[in-house]
Amino acid sequence: MAGVQGKSGGPRPNAGGARPGAGRKPKTAEKSANAAVETKLEPQPRGGALKRKKAVPVEIEACDMLTLLQKIALGQVDASAGQIRAAIAAVQYTHTKKGDGGKKDEDAEKAKKAGAGKFAPAAPPRLAAAGGKKV
């Protein structure tokens, strides 16, 4: 009511403020298959908490990186995320992919092999006018 003190508006019912059930739903605690990973909450300077996962490296016998990645993929070996990243980075230097060389490089190598021996190109003729020296 306009003009009457104390009765001019004010907040309407159910307007503003937090609504029950609004916002993101809290994550439920999931059971991890990897027992070496601990999940705990760390306090933050301005409130709230972040999840931190600290993985402990697992002892793995020395083997080829490609073999190690295959064992991890098949579930035979349990490794931390850092160990998996390191194995992926190292395997690029020990094993080349089929497409890394390229078709032109393969053809050039085949031509070099075929050009040796019986099919090698003949030497150029010697110039009699220059006494066999390069001109």
Q: Judge whether residue 122 has pLDDT over 70.
A: yes
Distance from C-alpha of 56 to C-alpha of 35, rounded to nearest angstrom? 10
Higher pLDDT, residue 86 or 117: 86
Higher pLDDT, residue 58 or 2: 58
**Which stretches does DSSP call E strand in the chain?**
37-43, 49-55
Burial of 79 (0-12, 13-18, 19+ CB in 10 A): buried
Q: Where are the domains of the chain?
A: 60-97
Return the ∠ at Cα 84 (arms to 80 and 85), rounded to 5°: 115
Q: Which residue has the tokens 């980075």?
A: 89
Which distant-in-sequence residues (6+ apart) come within 8 Å of 109 by Cβ? Answer: none
Closest CA to 38 of 48, 26, 51, 49: 51
Q: Judge whether residue 89 has pLDDT over 80.
A: yes
Q: Judge whether residue 98 has pLDDT over 60.
A: yes
Distance from C-alpha of 78 to C-alpha of 35, rounded to nearest angstrom? 10
Averaged pLDDT score across all residues of the chain? 76
**pLDDT tens track for 23-73:** 888 887 665 555 555 666 666 677 666 656 667 777 888 888 999 999 999
Do residues 58 and 79 make contact, with C-beta atoms less than 8 angstroms apart?
yes
Distance from C-alpha of 1 to C-alpha of 8, rounded to nearest angstrom? 5
